[in-house]
Each structure stands twice: as structure tokens, then as C-alpha cells.
Amino acid sequence: MARFRTLDDLDVRGKRVLVRADLNVPLKDGLVTDATRIERLAPTLEALIARGAKVVVMSHFGRPKGPDSALSLRPLTAALAKAIGGRGVSFAADCIGEEAKRVVAALRPGEVDLLENPRFHKGEEANSPEFARALAELGDLYVNDAFSAAHRAHASIAALAHLLPSAAGKLMEAELRALTAALETPVRPVMALVGGAKVSTKLDLLHFVIGNVDVLAIGGAMANTLLFAGGTEVGRSLCERDMADNARSLLALARERSCRVILPEDAVVAAALEPGEPTQIFPIDAVPSDMMILDVGPKTVDRIVAALEEARTLVWNGPLGAFETPPFEEATVAVAKRVAALTRAGRLLSVAGGGDTVAALAAAKVTEELSYVSTAGGAFLEWLEGRELPGVAALAVAPGDAG
């Protein structure tokens, strides 16, 4: 990973600091239902406030096609204020132009303003230089703390970073350090745990992971596709039969790259994906043709746990079973608890991310016990595909630049 500046490299006192945040949080009836992203942003805002910066926060919200009151950031001022100890947060009803300038000009050191949704302007998603210049007029310095939006080459994420002295915020810094420790300079052996429904949506991810880890354990319905590709009958289970060739190439690549692949050897099977449905456990080559695989079985959990005991680094994306429907969360929860215990014991560096994964870890009550759980969905996946993220690239300090 390239070198980037952090908050400690900026002299923010009395300066207007534009902070690109990701406040794209779930909102119901005007109330935030999961404030995790806001809470994780708070340390950056607190640090800037404590150092006497004039803090100007901006974030997209939803995917508006133009100005759209239903996707205004205004209802988030209260949640933002709460996350920073109840300090007042002013709001600018536009993120550029006279209204924004007026509100920002009124800020005193240590005060915070929130700008309206930049996606109300076409220039944002177009990464327009003019729009970025209009944003840049509101700040002296730029801090990006939105790793979870870093896969978007949008003006407030990419173009703007080049117009002002820029740095990574604390959350961005923590994300980048965790992901670098897990995949770029890991302590080996490195294990990846990949689950989820479809191979087709994770082909690039599996490719990259196979090239970079020592052991890959696969669960979720995507394992059915790999098993099917190897000649195992999976009954009525979810399975992408048309992906069999891709699955076989992935397995061939794993052999070539000496990446050990752990596929399910037994399965929790039921007639339907319904809560409380009677279940049976079958060896993977004996799944009845009228039944569905809905979780990995206990022998598979044992194998995964044995591999975890030997691993020093873990990257985890995707649940091992249909975890939203009990009892098909059991394997995921059992493995999550083991990962937490090994991490606590200092034997494993564990990094996890992706919407379903975060929900599964929360259900297992171990979120706080892993080394790092990313708040990013798409950006985490793109990182796991080995792609350069525009928002991260824009923060890079050129070699030789004093920074």
C-alpha cells in the first residue's frame, strides 16, 4: 500500500477541514437504526474538534437522481451531534455555493457543520473537476474518513483529494492498516473464510484470495457450486450449475498456487429454508435429492477450526450457512466464537467485512473481539478483489514527497 498522511501530519488549528464521511446509514422514520458508521467516525471528529479545527462534514446518502428531500442529510445532524457528545451541528442545505459558504464562514474553531448530500449534484458521481473545486472552496484541508465509499471515483472522494492538502482520518487509517496487515504483509499461514450465496458474484474475489492465502475455506451456497463442479450431487440446494467451469478453474488455480481449499465434507440439510425446520446431517456425498444444504455440518466446522488453530491471519467474508434463518446460523456462530477466542489469545489476527458477515458476527456477539471488523461492504469486497480503490489512491503521497 502506498504511503498516506494521517491527521497527525496536518496542522488543523483554526483551519476549515473538509471531512468526507460515510453517513450512508439505515434510516427509518427519520431515525438512524444502526449508528455504527457514525460512531466509528466520531474519533476523527473529536480529534479535529480538540485541535481547534472548523469541521465541515460531507457524505452521500442513498442514490438520489438529483435533489431529493427523502435523501437529505438533515435528519442525520441529530445522530451526528449525539455521536460527538451532544455538541451542536449546523446544517448547510446545499453542499456548494453561497448557502454552504455562509454556514461554513460562521463556524468557529471546534464547531461542526454538516453539508447536504453531494449526490444532489451531477458533478459528484461524474468526479467533475468543477464540482470538486466548488467543494474545495469550503475548506483549507481535506480528510477522507470514508473507506466504505472509497471504491467510488466521485468528486468528494477522488478529485477533491488532489485540490487540498489531504490525509486519511482515523477510521480510514484503521481500515487500511487492518487490511494491509491481513493481505499485503500478513503473518503466515493466512487463511480466508469465504461464504455467501453465489460464486458468480465473488469470482474476482476468489481469484485474488487464492493467489494470496495459504488456506481457503468455503461455505455458504457458493460451496454447493464448487462441490457440484467436482461431481458431488447437491440435491435441491442453491447451486449455480452454469458456473461449474468457472468453479473448476478456480480449484485448478488453487492447486497451481498451493492454496489448500477446504470444502464442506458434511452438511446440515432440510426440506425447506424455514425457521425451525427439522434438520438432518449428511456426509456431503449422501445429500438426498429432495433436500437442501443449508449449513455446513459439524465435521466441516471441526476441519475449519483445526485450520484456524494453525493460521496466524484470517480474512473472513460471508456466512457459512443460511444464517438469517435459525438453526442454520449454528456453524457460522461456532466458527465466529472460535475466531474470537483465538484472537483474544493473541494467536490470530482476524479481519472481517461485508454486510452479511457483519450481521453474522453481531448475531454471534463477537464483533468487538475480532482484530478488525470493517464497516464497508462494497469497498471491502473490492479490496478483496485486489483492486485499487480510487479514494485510497487519491490519498497516496508520492515517494519523495515530504508529506
The window from 148-156, 271-279, 322-330, 346-354 that contacts ligand 3PG (CB under 6 A) reads 148-156
Query: With contacts defined by CB under 5 A, how many residues of the chain interact with Mg ion?
Result: 2
The answer to the question of residue 63 lying near ligand 3PG (CB under 6 A) is: yes
The answer to the question of residue 377 lying near ligand 3PG (CB under 6 A) is: yes
Site for Mg ion in 130-169 (CB under 5 A): 161, 166
Residue 28 cell numbers, joined:
427509518
Cα–Cα distance between 395 and 400 in angstroms, integer?
A: 15
Q: Which of 14, 88, 355, 403 is catalytic?
A: 355
Q: In sequence order, what are the residues at sequence separation of 6 or more whose Cβ sits closer than 8 angstroms to the Cβ of residue 328?
A: 268, 270, 273, 294, 295, 321, 322
Q: Which of 15, 37, 40, 170 is catalytic?
A: 37
Residue with cell 467451469: 245
Tell me the one-letter amino acid at 253.
L
Cα–Cα distance between 247 and 236 in angstroms, integer?
A: 19
Residue 277 cell numbers, joined:
425446520
The answer to the question of residue 22 lying near ligand 3PG (CB under 6 A) is: yes
Cβ–Cβ < 8 Å for 122, 134: no
Closest CA to 155 of 185, 197, 122: 122
Q: Is 105 helix (H, G, I), strand (E, B) or coil?
A: helix
**Closer by beta carbon to ligand 3PG, 27 or else 293:** 27
Residue 303 cell numbers, joined:
476441519
The answer to the question of residue 148 lying near ligand 3PG (CB under 6 A) is: yes
The window from 144-152, 207-215, 290-298, 366-374 that contacts ligand 3PG (CB under 6 A) reads 144-152
The answer to the question of residue 149 lying near ligand 3PG (CB under 6 A) is: yes
Cβ–Cβ < 8 Å for 178, 56: no
- Asked about 198 being catalytic, the answer comes back as yes
**Closer by beta carbon to ligand 3PG, 14 or else 355:** 355
- Asked about 378 being catalytic, the answer comes back as yes
Residue with cell 482515523: 170
- Asked about 276 being catalytic, the answer comes back as no
Query: With contacts defined by CB under 6 A, how many residues of the chain interact with ligand 3PG?
Result: 8
The answer to the question of residue 241 lying near ligand 3PG (CB under 6 A) is: no
**Closer by beta carbon to ligand 3PG, 62 or else 403:** 62
Catalogue the active-site residues: 37, 198, 355, 378
- Name the residues that contact ligand 3PG, by CB under 6 A: 22, 24, 63, 148-149, 152, 377-378
